[in-house]
Amino acid sequence: MTTRPVPDATVTRLPLYLRVLVELADQGEATVSSDVLADAAGVSSANVRKDLSHLGSYGTRGIGYDVAHLIHEIRRSLGLTQHWSILIAGVGNLGQALARYKGFAERGFRVAALIDVDPAKVGTRIDGMEVRHLDELPKLVRAERVAIGVIATPATDAQDVADRMVQAGLRSILNFAPAMLTVPEGVTIRKVDLAIELQILSYYEKRDALRELKGSVGKPGGAIAGS
């Protein structure tokens, strides 16, 4: 049995479905239709069906999808049957907030290590975890079996940290620093840039303000799914 490749666009929505499904399961729902799931996730029902069809045929015509089963299949597909350990580099404002964020543990991600270069920070504890020096990164990755690196450093340090992470064997990096990172083939990077999100909103805010002024109608311009 070969795992068919799941389209990237689908991969970004699976976690969304998963969250909705877990909520439904908590509410005691046994099955769910693509219509209901679509509404709750903010996409079209055809899109839901197409997405889920990439995982296999787990629905029942006339009934819908078995909630528990679908949760299992999505978890499996996303690789969430195992827990992952993450390492956070940079414990400034954002890094500290991430280190304390409870949402990670709830979804199976363990913050296994915190690192920084600032002597004033190294050795302190955040949420019970000691901040270690950047130089210990390789040792920590090995000892804690870290799989994902999170970069929350200033932009100027981001590339160096990324290089060290790759060097230490990490192949998945989540970058919060406002900098473009270069990594070798085979390393996956995702980035979240907070200021860029605001700049994108600025565009639509300005556009809508103009439209209102002119009284023109244009295209809907409704809610835009982020991320």
Binding site for DNA (CB under 7 A): 7-10, 32-35, 43-47, 49-50, 52-53, 57-65
Please, which residue, 61 or 214, has the CB nearer to a copy of itself?
A: 214
| Three-state DSSP state, 129 | strand
Provide, rounded to whole angstroms, the least separation between the CB of residue 133 and a copy of itself. Answer: 22
Helices (H), the chain: 8-26, 34-41, 45-53, 67-78, 93-100, 102-106, 137-144, 155-167, 194-214
Is position 79 an interface residue for a copy of itself (rule: CB under 8 A)? yes
Q: Are strands 172-175 and 146-151 parallel, antiparallel or unpaired?
A: parallel
Provide, rounded to whole angstroms, the least separation between the CB of residue 163 and DNA. Answer: 25
Is position 167 an interface residue for a copy of itself (rule: CB under 8 A)? no
CA dist., res. 201 & res. 18, Å (int)? 27
Contacted by 215, from a copy of itself, DNA, none: CB < 5 to 8 Å by type: none
Please, which residue, 62 or 227, has the CB nearer to a copy of itself?
A: 227
Provide, rounded to whole angstroms, the least separation between the CB of residue 183 and a copy of itself. Answer: 6
Residues 55-74 binding a copy of itself (CB under 8 A) are none
Residue 141: exposed, middle, or buried by beta-carbon count in 10 A (0-12, 13-18, 19+)? buried
Provide, rounded to whole angstroms, the least separation between the CB of residue 209 and a copy of itself. Answer: 8
Contacted by 45, from DNA, a copy of itself, none: CB < 5 to 8 Å by type: DNA
Provide, rounded to whole angstroms, the least separation between the CB of residue 61 and a copy of itself. Answer: 26
Question: Can you state the percent helix, strand and coil of the chain, rounding each to 5?
Answer: 45, 20, 35
Is position 50 an interface residue for a copy of itself (rule: CB under 8 A)? no
Q: Are strands 64-66 and 59-60 parallel, antiparallel or unpaired?
A: antiparallel
